[in-house]
Amino acid sequence: MKRVGLIGGMTPESTLYYYRNYIRMSRELLGPFNFPELIVYSINFAEFKDNPRGWEGRAELLINAARALERAGAEIIAMTANTPHIVFPEVQKAVNVPMVSIIDALIEEMKRRRVKKVLLLGTKTTMTAGFYKNALRKAGFDVVTPTEEEMEEVNRVIFEELSFENLKSRPYLIELVERYAKERGIGGVILGCTELPLAIKPGDVSVEVFDTAKIHMRRLIELASGF
């Protein structure tokens, strides 16, 4: 089996969520005690979030982390967050081992479930920047994003509450999805931030839930094990 390297710490809660699902999914696919080897490089989130050089500086942090994982023997590398995929191509070019994109894994799962119109939730960067929406639209999906005011609130909930495992605004997020299902006819919601699955789970809403963290982790395990 191949050794998996994860760039984590964005935030620590999402990294823990990845690890929990790594254990659970490995057991489902490979048996109770069979786990592909895993290395986690947890960056300092403050250096990432408040980097004075913006995305150029953040890309440098991620590249350094990816190279460290490669030196440690990782044969497949992934980032445990959606928003940093804005610089995924630059990070991939900096290492000599394959990286697995959370967006590519999501697209394959959306095709499998045959959902065409989705609501994209995530950080404000993920919801507004073209890197995420353009990739989905290029693949043939109809992507809906919240209003500016709703984006601000979702972003606030992610960074001020969910990043600290505070679920106070869970009812707001669920109501938001249900309203878009009723008014805009979405067939699914993309949890495009790896903290959002703490608040929204399948069955909480009337549409398909695309938990990008779980989708990503399962794809990594499949690739690592040759499943």
Give, for 120, the enclosing helix (H) or strand (E): strand 117-121
Which of the four pLDDT bands, split at 50, 70 and 90, describes residue 195?
confident
**pTM metric for this prediction:** 0.93
Which of the four pLDDT bands, split at 50, 70 and 90, describes residue 66?
very high
Q: Is the pLDDT of residue 13 over 90?
A: no
Please tell me whether residue 183 adopts helix, strand or coil conformation: helix
What integer pLDDT is reported at residue 194 of this predicted model? 85
What integer pLDDT is reported at residue 226 of this predicted model? 85
Alpha helices, DSSP H, located in 72-188: 88-93, 102-113, 124-128, 130-138, 148-160, 170-184
| pLDDT digits 0-9 by tens, 176-192 | 999 999 999 999 999 99
Return d(Cα 152, Cα 142) in angstroms, integer. Answer: 22
